[in-house]
Structure 1
């Protein structure tokens, strides 16, 4: 499929997003990840996300960070959908090497299951390309 053959000028794979449907209650889309394609760490504020690997293989490093080891597609259903006016916009994060400098910060519990996050712009090597879904139409009743 052509969705898996796209790279930028630096040879970094581009991830293709196919928008299937959206209404006030939810949105549906498919992410097509080529090998080495990475979805960076991000949030879904005040939303619930159901994701299903349709085919391929992904290596999940944290709940929202996945590396594709082969051509892979992920179906995402978000409820409710992104809406900047309602405070539902995507924010990206870096894992910080140190705690925030605020005096009210609390130490993290021990173990590898915790990390400090800091907001950031989407990584320069993250390339998401929108494309047209050519499958059956989803219609409202």
Structure 2
């Protein structure tokens, strides 16, 4: 009997676990533990990657920065996105980040996301919206207000870390990545982003809680101001350079 590849086993388990594309789908704690246990066993070779070992070719692959002025653009490697599988219920993908690259603060509306570091290390900073919702006037003509969020994650992740999970309202649903070394992360999204279902990725700037002098006291006495930030929606950053790469790992049999 032929042994299933790790990627095929992951697909089969995701198909069993995520049976509905609804953002309200409830996944049992046992199913979450089972999926995390499988993700924890996956290594770069299982998905057709070579562990970079902290070294990489620093030659550029494209202009990164102000595309309107090539003089000010710098030659840099892109973030590579490798799509393994996607349907209306879940998606499986890999993000490969060169050293010092950043995926800015963004959200995952109505989504649960499982992330397993394959190699290298990255800093993750994540927030969750404060409930009840509080807004603050920004004074910017293009944006009427900012929204209060609480810091949930501020850690460095590496391949030795267990799979991390963010949920629709907890666990750092709004997060940013900064690659400390060349690194890769395997993600499972359920449900995936979808314009038709109004699950659209939105980017944000974050500002310290104390940035606005007219801020009312919305935090509890047991919390520190540093645990909170005001988040402001922004357009997709011009210097975010993500390239659709070619997945070279084992083929999935749906």
Name the one with the larger helix percent: 2
The match for 2:228 is 114
Q: Does the CA-based 8 Å contact 1:12-1:125 persist in structure 2?
A: no
User: Normalising by the residue count of structure 2, what TM-score does the alignment of the two structures yield?
Assistant: 0.48
Alpha-carbon distance in structure 1 between the residues aligned to 2:88 and 2:179: 31
The match for 1:134 is 248
The match for 1:92 is 203
Once the 2 structures are TM-superposed, how far is the Cα of residue 33 of structure 1 from its aligned partner? Answer: 0.3
Q: Does the CA-based 8 Å contact 1:4-1:71 persist in structure 2?
A: no
Match 2:177 to one of 42, 54, 66? 66
Q: Does the CA-based 8 Å contact 1:26-1:81 persist in structure 2?
A: yes
Once the 2 structures are TM-superposed, how far is the Cα of residue 120 of structure 1 from its aligned partner? Answer: 0.6
Alpha-carbon distance in structure 2 between the residues aligned to 1:3 and 1:76: 24
Structure 1 segments unaligned to the other structure (5+ residues): none
SS of 1:112 mapped into structure 2: helix
Q: Does the CA-based 8 Å contact 2:78-2:243 persist in structure 1?
A: yes
Q: Does the CA-based 8 Å contact 1:44-1:88 persist in structure 2?
A: yes
Alpha-carbon distance in structure 1 between the residues aligned to 2:190 and 2:105: 19
Q: Superposition RMSD on alpha carbons, in Å?
A: 2.4
Alpha-carbon distance in structure 2 between the residues aligned to 1:3 and 1:85: 39
Cα deviation digits, residues 33-52 of structure 1 (max 9, x gap): 00011111000101101111
Alpha-carbon distance in structure 2 between the residues aligned to 1:53 and 1:131: 18
Q: Does the CA-based 8 Å contact 2:101-2:179 persist in structure 1?
A: yes
- Runs of 4+ in structure 1 off by over 4 angstroms are 1-5
Count of residues in Structure 1 that have an aligned counterpart in Structure 2: 136
